[in-house]
Amino acid sequence: MPKVTKKTLNCRGRLVSLDTPVVMGILNVTPDSFFAGSRVSPESTQPNGVLERAESMLRAGATFLDIGGYSTRPGAADVSPAEEADRVLPAIDTILRHVPNALISIDTFRASVARQAVEAGACMVNDVSGGNLDADMFSTVADLGVPYVLMHMRGTPQTMQSLSNYTNLVTEVIDELALRLNELRALGAKDIVIDPGFGFAKTISQNFELLRELTAFHYFDEPLLVGLSRKTTIWKTLNTTADKALNGTTVLNTAALLGGASILRVHDVQEAVEAIKLTQPLTFF
């Protein structure tokens, strides 16, 4: 399997190297994200506020901070674009006023929220829907000229778990991503990151299959983002809960790194950074 040769992202003029994998810390400005420990208050003066958590993640070694205002856990309630923007924009402003060089990713599938967030200072768009839930997303990203995480998902957060029927999982996920990637490239979008979409329209066994076959996604010659942190695949397999799934997360993050992941999206930054340091002498990507 050929190595991924694309190893940089241009984040608003700042070139971020992926020669060594990096960590993306999760900041959910939501009341209902699946892992309570990821939820933060947008008010910087509140305990567990967004600024406190952001600064802690950056000190621990996070390269990116991924801010989301819409819970995409299975069966999550829908919120309006206005409410989503009202959640994330103050958080972005708070962080950048205090840490101007922070690299912020906006976790949204809505083009209007993505544009507002980038105008507020975000430098990357992380779209769980791969452009399938907003017809304007691809053109918006191309116009904004920021890196874009293209994730595989079927349906919506409310319906995705009923759409996990595949004849050949890896081939179909790659084919569906390839169609969307070609559309993005045709519009002039650059700096695209591929995310196989662990947990999104995938069963537990399918998530393990994707992880076993992660090197197949080097076909795209784009950086790979893996988001497995504290997900159902881990805690249900271990018969525990999300808040006790840190060790399991580290195990699967290690497998992802050995499979060539360039970005780990996690709740627990220090442990992910340590996994990267320890796997570097073992990897060839």
Would you name the residues annotated as active-site residues? 231, 265
Task: Check: CB of residue 165 under 8 Å from CB of residue 206.
Answer: no
Task: Report which of 97, 86, 93, 99 is spatially closest to residue 108, judged by C-alpha positions.
Answer: 86
Q: Give the count of beta carbons closer than 10 Å to the beta carbon of residue 22.
A: 23
Q: 25 by DSSP, 3-state: which?
A: strand
Task: Report which of 79, 128, 137 is spatially closest to residue 110, judged by C-alpha positions.
Answer: 137
* Amino acid (one-letter) located at 31: P
Distances (CA, A) of 26 to 29, 65, 136, 185: 10, 6, 25, 27
CA 3 to chain centre: 21
User: Rounded to whole angstroms, how far apart are CA atoms 108 and 146?
Assistant: 14
Task: Check: CB of residue 216 under 8 Å from CB of residue 173.
Answer: no
User: Rounded to whole angstroms, how far apart are CA atoms 223 and 219?
Assistant: 11
